[in-house]
A and B are shown apart, each in its own frame.
Chain A
Amino acid sequence: MKLDRLAYRPDALLDFFEEGLGALGGLCARPWHDRLEVVAEGAAARLWRADGELHSAELQFVAAGETGARDAQREVFPGCPLTFQLAEALRPSPPPLERAVLEIDGAARPPDAAVIERLWRQAHPDTLRWRLASPLTPAFHHSLVALVRCEVQATDQHWSLHRVALGLPDGRADDGLAREIGFARLAAAPAALAWPTPDPTGWSGLLTGAIEGELAGELAAVRARQEGRLARELTRVDDYFANYERELAGRASRGRGATGKFAERLAAAKAEHARHRADQVARHEIVVVPHVDALLLVAEPAWRGTLHIERAHRPPAALEARFVPRARRWETAAEARA
């Protein structure tokens, strides 16, 4: 889920500074609607002093559209370094893998069999027969939620922010969780809860795939722009060298130079042409660099059971499956492999 950019609003930014600096250990007070008095030490003070010594400042949040010279040390304005610095200070590197257990209403009692059968059949329309082979037992479903800043480097540079939720272990996108995580209530983790082992390599692949999907639309526009530019550049380069080669050939045909010299020049021109083309192509390459800012491993109540399934043109099979009440969907090992 792509998160929209925030419009510059001094009051909203002031809230963020107050909360952010507070989280870093700073003391903040608002003497006026657009001012924030800060007394900071350590991590919070490092926004101003590399040594983290005690620092006090009164920050002023400049109104949007205000022009004039800015004091980057004590003024907050669009594009100002302090905002970048605070945001970066709040982003531990490497990011911690945090864990959370979601509290889901009504998850304490098993779902109605008719309902879950119907949900199964909706997801798998080719199912002929469906039977719950064993009673449902409480279990947990795990997901990975990540905040990813995507840097798209084309001729110019774009940034976008995405909140990505993936079901584990299969990496199936869970847009519902990505949307709702901001409103979720957390529960205490039961002692029996077994968390999945962190798998940075595998998860990185899953996240990259999800980001590719998220950015597809945006990239298409960037790519169309880049291709237009590249075509123009290449036409220019090609025309130039084609004309040059014609000139060389013309000179050679008038017998002014030795044939060997002409061939040599022609070869040099071709090599140069190829180099310029390659240079232009490389110059127009689009690079997407995802930067992971936060990671959250989410556990939520689910129901595990064995399903006996008959599908068209397939032999009957018994499947271990988990029903996730929040998402109202089934997760199976087979799907994970798919």
Chain B
Amino acid sequence: MEQHPPPAPSDSAGGGVVGGGAAGGDALLAVTFDLAAGAVLFEWARAEGGALLHRARLGLAPGAARFFRVYLFELKFEPVGIGAVERCGATPTSIHAMLRRVRKATSPVAAVRIGVRADTALGPVAAGAWHEMFGLAVDHGWKSVAQLLAQFAARLEPLIRGDEGADEPAAARAALRAVAATQLGVVEPAALAALAPRGLPGPRAQPAALSHLELRIMFDTIACRAELVWRSPASGATVATGVVTATEAWRLRWELHVGHHDEPAETCAPEPAEVRRHFGAWITRFRTALDWVHIAFLKQLPGASTPVLKPEPPFESNAALLEFIDYHLTTMARERAYRHSPLGRMQTRLDAEANLESEAFARRKQRKEERRVAEEARREATIARLAEERRQREERAAAQRAAEAAAKAAAAKTAASAAKVAAPTPPAAPRAIAPPPPVPVVVRAATLALQDTVLPLTDLRGFALREQAARWWVSNQSDDLLCLPHCRIERLEYQVRTALRVLGALRGRALLSDEVGLGKTIEAGLVAKELFTRGMVKRMLVLTLPSLVDQWAEELEGKFALTAVTTNGPLVRDDPAKFWRDHACIVASLHTLKQPAHLAIAREVHWDLLVVDEAHYLRNRTSQAWQAVNVLPRQFLLLLTATPVQNSLEELYNLVTLLQPGQLPTPKEFRARFLDPERPRQPREPEELRRLLGQVMIRNTRANAGIDLPPRRAETVLFAPEAAEARFWAEWESEFRARLATLSASQSSLWGRLLLQAAGSSPAAWRGALEKFPDQAAARVWRERAPLEASWQRKCRALLPLTREPGGAVVFTQFLDTQAALAEFLRGAGVATFVINGGTPAPERQPITEEFRRRGGALLLTHSGTEGRNLQFCHTLANFDLPWNPMEIEQRIGRLHRLGQREPVAIHNFVQAGTLQEHLLQVLQEKLNLFELVVGETGLVLGERFSGDEFEEEIFRRWHEGAGRVPEAIAGFGAELAEARARHAEVKRLDETLFARDFESQ
């Protein structure tokens, strides 16, 4: 059976030359040089499916051998296609014209493949097999066909022209075989011998082309050299070999070997003129037939282990060839020089890495796609299962209704026959679907408080100006937030987008679940301020934890100019009714609201905007907090939480139900559909749940908000006390513990925490604290005995290198005495020292900060001096002492590690070896991972268990009760913190599973 060429090439070694696109059409053209028949076959096939569209055969035209003939070739279509005949002469122009006509008449093709089929083996072509010579894109393909046919004509014409008795088929076979052999790089003397003259006189006895040499050029792009081989077409013997090598010095070296003789090498600059000169000399010397130039490139394709030899299609004219040669030789020289340069060497290395990276990316992409497909299949299966279940339910219900109706009808029939007078029972009416009530439209009466005037106007300019003002006022309403100019915040696009989305698509009811530290408070404030600005809100209530009430009020006032009354003020106790009813903006604690007396009043007020901060406290639907919020009448509602799910998805359900009842199905259906009882935090259908949540929830992450802070690096600066000092501290702690036992519990806790922290700070702070200690006699003795100066000096000296860091160092301390002593030391050591504490007047703080920014050195801050300072220009922080409250440490770090910080932040914690501070630092660092948590996350890890002073209390309790085994007691505490951190990590993982995407503000 005849073997057909493949209609749709797919494995072209030419790097997908034809596989790429169907820009020209959807058909493929295969052109076969049928050497046995001495004809060229054209086959058009559909790209998809390979169905044959047209088929044509190009052979000799009748009378082709006549001296005065018109046509040489005839292209005859088979009736499957267009059934026409096209003819052409021997000249390239005529051949081109014929192919153009054919191209117009047939289907547009996307690619052309040119191959050869031989009856006997010819070089790489097996007998009877189809072998591809070129796989080409469409335009280039047609051109190549034309050129090959022109070569065919050129070889054929001298053999037959004027010889009417010539064996035309044999001549055609010979000419075609010669063309194919040339293209395949096969020297076949037999084929060339067949081209020998048939007794014809004159120049036709020896074809003009044969008097020239054949040139084969191979550009080795790997070694940056070109090899030129001249061969005699008659004998196939190599006449000469030229090698052009690009050197590392950006030169071209021309070497020529003629026979067994090497000629002296020449070099030239890689300029087109030079290249043409050398190359022109060679082709003139070796009488090269330009239509017999074969060019190939040896390339290393990405991902391929061996180089690939890729042939180039033939050229149309000398000019094109010369341009081609000089372009490629000069490019090769440039490439070689570049590769040798440092940049090139670097790029070579990088290319390898990039290739690896690219491959890894491709693999990742493939895996992701596989996962997506699997997920999609699962989802489809779930949808189908649910649909099937629903259908079954409906069928069951219909059957049940039919049975009930039948039973009722039977009962009615029985009753009717028994009573004979029974009235017909009306059929049960289907449940009426109440039409939605009409939307009420209230047109308020225009308020006409006017001031009368007496004198009539003389012109209407004033009126026109007022009209103009009103028009601009109305026209000035924009799609952006109107409130922004009134807010004292840094404009962050994701926050503005969030506010716009809440006001727009979510229509004022949203669950804001940004990651910690992205400013949910700011977003809620923006929404509130905008609603106030637009007059859509007259009354607002913010509900939050008691510890955050004042902070909320401060932020609303400071950043949004919204003055709020709070439940921390006296009014809520003095006159609760007035408190809840008479204020436009209230910040209240959830705990206060829950109290029945307050709730009874608050639920009578219509709140235009209700904001619930830390809304995860509403996760339980049976809790008082949830119930209390649920009964408050409200127009707009914002729920703020970074962790909407902590223990079970039902918590999320409860929050969403509070926001939009009905957004999620009933509890039972929700459980059945989304909850896996064995893994209550993992949704069964995350995609579907995400879709539903996307309609009420916004979650910005650091990634989508474009906030990518550099890392923090914590380092412990540990200094060992001298033996005498260590002994003193051990004795002092035991004595101090004994003295504390004589005090009341609250006094004991207060003095214990104060003195222990002061002892970890500085001798000055410790002495200062001791001055007010109730047992002054003991305090005096301790002060006199304490040999503390040596370790103080060591601690201060350890700080000096940090102050010389670029940008200086910010040094935090809890105690004013420490700050003063440290400032004295640093100034004595010649360090530029700047001090800000609670006593520094507000207007002076910024200039001091600016001066520090300019000069570097050390900026010494206390807690009071920290507030409102943005120190992201500096990246070295020293905790000269360690507060026992992790939140305070986080606030310190947050001053530097914030938006705008470009360098990794180095945190240096100064502690004395063997002290409580060292154990505490170990716990904070290793168990709580405090120094690597994101700002705001510490509070979430610590949760309600250790908020505010409770952490400090716990530390003190463990120190107090753990006499002689303080390290163990603190370590026990660390274990608890580690558990809390693990819990938080799990919640975070769940959040990422559920809310990894789809909830951004845009």
Q: What residues of chain A have their CB less than 8 Å away from a CB belonging to chain B?
A: 3, 5-8, 13, 16, 19-20, 23, 69-70, 72, 78-81, 83-84, 86-88, 90-92, 94-101, 146-149, 151, 153, 155-157, 159-161, 163, 181-182, 184, 186, 188-189, 198, 200-201, 203-205, 207-208, 211-212, 215, 219, 223, 226-227, 229-231, 233-234, 236-240, 243-244, 247, 276, 279, 281-296, 299
B binding-site residues for A, Cβ under 8 Å: 434, 436-460, 462-478, 480, 482, 484-486, 491, 503-504, 507-508, 534-536, 633, 635, 660-663, 665-669
A87 to B459, CA, bound (A): 20
21 contacts across the A-B interface (CB closer than 8 A): A87-B470, A88-B469, A90-B466, A91-B469, A96-B452, A97-B450, A97-B452, A99-B455, A198-B450, A200-B450, A208-B443, A208-B445, A215-B443, A230-B437, A243-B668, A276-B661, A281-B440, A287-B442, A291-B446, A294-B463, A296-B460
- Picked from B439, B464, B472, the residue with its CB within 8 Å of the CB of A83 is B472
Nearest B-chain residue to A243, judged by Cβ: B666
Query: Are B662's CB and A236's CB within 8 A?
Result: yes
Report yes or no: A295 in contact with B460, Cβ–Cβ below 8 A.
no
Please report the C-alpha to C-alpha distance between residue A7 and residue B474 in the assembled complex, in whole angstroms.
11
Contact B662 A239 (CB under 8 A): yes
- What residues of A have a CB within 8 angstroms of the CB of B463 in the complex? 98, 100, 181, 294, 296
Q: When the two chains form the complex, which single residue of B441, B661, B667 contacts A236, counting CB atoms closer than 8 Å?
A: B661
CA–CA, A204 to B449, complex, Å?
9
User: Which of A81, A94, A101, A148 is close to B449, meaning CB atoms less than 8 Å apart?
Assistant: A94
CB <8 Å contact, A247 and B503: no
Cross-chain contact B467 with A292 (CB below 8 angstroms): no
Taking a contact as CB atoms closer than 8 A, the residue among A90, A184, A286, A296 that contacts B469 in the complex is A90
Q: Which residues of A contact B472 (CB under 8 A)?
A: 6, 13, 16, 83, 86-87
Contact B485 A70 (CB under 8 A): yes
The answer to whether A207 and B440 touch across the interface, beta carbons within 8 angstroms, is: no
Q: Which residue of A lies closest to B485 (CB)?
A: A72
A160 CB to nearest B CB, Å: 7
With A207-B446, A247-B668 known as contacts, the answer to whether A237 contacts B661 (CB < 8 A) is yes
CB distance B456 to A101 under 8 Å?
A: yes
User: A100 near B460 (CB under 8 angstroms)?
Assistant: yes
The complex places the Cα of A207 from the Cα of B69 at a distance, in Å, of: 100
Residues of A contacting B663 in the complex (Cβ-Cβ under 8 angstroms): 236
Residues of chain B contacted by A296 (CB below 8 angstroms): 457, 460, 463
Residue of B nearest to A83 (CB): B476
User: Is there contact, CB below 8 Å, between B450 and A147?
Assistant: no
CA distance A283 to B482 in the complex (A): 23
What CA separation (Å) do A243 and B446 show in the bound complex?
A: 45
Query: Min CB distance, A189 to chain B, in Å?
Result: 4
Contacts of A5 in B (CB 8 A): 471, 474-475
Q: Give the complex CA separation of A16 and B507 in angstroms.
A: 35
Seed contacts A211-B446, A283-B635; 19 additional CB < 8 Å A-B pairs? A8-B475, A13-B472, A16-B469, A19-B465, A20-B468, A23-B465, A72-B486, A79-B477, A79-B480, A94-B450, A148-B446, A157-B534, A160-B474, A200-B448, A200-B450, A203-B448, A281-B437, A288-B443, A296-B457
Which 9 pairs show the lowest CB-CB distances between chains A and B?
A79-B478, A72-B485, A236-B662, A240-B662, A87-B473, A94-B449, A200-B448, A290-B446, A87-B469
Residue in B closest to A164 when the chains form the complex, CB atoms: B446
Q: Tell me, in angstroms, the Cα distance from A256 to B468 when the chains sit together.
A: 71
Q: B453 — which chain A residues lie within 8 A by C-beta?
A: 96-99
For the complex, what is the distance from the CA of A291 to the CA of B447, rounded to whole Å? 7
Task: Please measure, in the bound complex, the distance between the C-alpha atom of A286 and the C-alpha atom of B536, giving whole angstroms.
Answer: 12
Query: How many whole Å from A41's CB to the nearest CB in chain B?
Result: 19
Q: Which among A84, A97, A189 is the interface contact of B473 at CB below 8 angstroms?
A: A84
Set of chain B residues within 8 Å of A291, measured between Cβ atoms: 446-447
Choose among A13, A148, A157, A223 the residue that contacts B441 (Cβ–Cβ < 8 A): A223
- Cα distance A295–B448 in the bound complex, in angstroms: 9
In angstroms, Cα B481 to Cα A78, docked, is 11
The residue in chain B whose Cβ has the minimal distance to the Cβ of A76 is B476
Identify the closest chain B residue to A12 (Cβ): B472
Residues of chain A within 8 A of B458, CB atoms compared: 186, 188
| Chain A residues within an 8 Å CB radius of B460 | 100, 181-182, 184, 186, 296
Question: Does the CB pair B442–A81 fall under 8 Å?
Answer: no
Residues of B within 8 A of A19 (CB): 465, 468
CA distance A149 to B473 in the complex (A): 9
Tell me which residues across on chain B come within 8 A of A286, comparing CB atoms.
Answer: 439-442
Would you call the interface of chain A mostly helix, strand, loop, or mixed?
A: mixed
CB pair B442 A78 closer than 8 Å: no
A231 touching B436 in the complex, CB below 8 Å, given contacts A100-B457, A244-B666, A293-B466:
yes
Q: Are A80 and B446 in contact (CB under 8 A)?
A: no
A7 to B842, CA, bound (A): 44
Residues of B within 8 A of A211 (CB): 443, 446
Residues of A within 8 A of B465 (CB): 19-20, 23, 90
Which residues of B lie under 8 Å from residue A3 when comparing CB positions? 467, 471, 474
Cβ–Cβ contact A237 & B662, under 8 A: yes
When distances are taken between beta carbons in the complex, the residues of chain A under 8 Å from B462 are 23, 98
Q: Given the complex of chains A and B, what is the CA–CA distance between A155 and B434 in angstroms?
A: 23
Q: How far is the CA of A231 from the CA of B508 in the complex (A)?
A: 18
- Given A181-B460, A288-B441, residue A149 in contact with residue B446 (CB < 8 A): no
Which residues of chain B are near A149, meaning CB under 8 Å? 470, 473-474
Tell me the nearest residue of chain A to B457, going by C-beta.
A100
Q: Are A81 and B635 in contact (CB under 8 A)?
A: no
- Whether the pair B471, A6 counts as a contact (CB closer than 8 A) is yes
Q: B836 → chain A, closest Cβ, in Å?
A: 28
Contact B456 A16, beta carbon cutoff 8 Å: no
Closest A residue to B534 by CB, please name it.
Answer: A157
Of B439, B451, B471, the residue contacting A226 (CB under 8 A) is B439
User: Within 8 Å CB of A70, what residues of B?
Assistant: 485
Determine the chain B residues whose CB is within 8 A of the CB of A299 once the complex forms. 456
Which residues does chain A contribute within 8 Å of B464, judged by CB atoms? 182
Closest to A153 in B: B536
A318 to chain B, nearest CB (A): 33
Chain A CB count within 10 A is highest, among B445, B449, B534, B536, for B445
Bound CA–CA A278/B467 (angstroms): 40
- A96–B463 Cα distance when bound, in Å, is 10
B452 proximity list for chain A (CB < 8 A):
96-97, 198
Shortest distance in angstroms between B691's beta carbon and chain A's nearest beta carbon?
15
B626 to nearest A CB, angstroms? 13
- Which partner residue on chain A sits nearest B433 by CB separation? A238
Given A101-B456, A159-B474, A279-B633: A236 and B660 within 8 A (CB)? yes
Considering the chains assembled together, what is the distance between the CA atoms of A20 and B470 in angstroms? 12
Residues in B with CB closer than 8 Å to A69 are 491
The verdict on A163 contacting B467 (CB below 8 Å), with A95-B450, A186-B457 known, is: yes
Q: How far is the CA of A81 from the CA of B453 in the complex (A)?
A: 31
Inter-chain contact B473/A294, CB cutoff 8 Å? no
- Bound form: Cα–Cα A188–B455 in Å: 10
Query: Are A204 and B474 in touch, CB under 8 angstroms?
Result: no
| Residues in A whose Cβ lies below 8 Å from that of B482 | 79, 81, 84
Q: Which A residues lie within 8 Å of B447 (CB)?
A: 204, 291-292
Residue of B nearest to A88 (CB): B473
- Which residues of A are found within 8 Å of B445, using beta-carbon distances? 204-205, 208, 290
Chain A residue at minimal CB-CB distance from B446:
A290
State A133–B118 Cα separation when bound (angstroms): 120
Chain B min CB distance to A76 (Å): 10
**Once the chains bind, are A227 and B439 in contact (CB under 8 Å)?**
yes
- CA of A157 to CA of B438 in the docked complex: distance in angstroms? 19
B478 touches A100 (CB 8 A): no
Q: Which residue of B lies closest to A207 (CB)?
A: B446
B residues near A283, Cβ cutoff 8 Å: 635
Q: Assess the B439–A243 pair: CB atoms within 8 A.
A: no
Residues from chain B with a CB closer than 8 A to the CB of A279 are 633
B451 touches A95 (CB 8 A): yes
State the Cβ distance, A216 to closest chain B Cβ, in Å.
10
Closest Cβ of chain A: how far from B510's Cβ, in Å?
13
Q: Are A285 and B440 in contact (CB under 8 A)?
A: yes
**Smallest CB–CB gap between A191 and chain B, Å?**
12
Given known contacts A5-B475, A200-B448, A286-B440, is B469 in contact with A20 (CB within 8 Å)?
A: yes
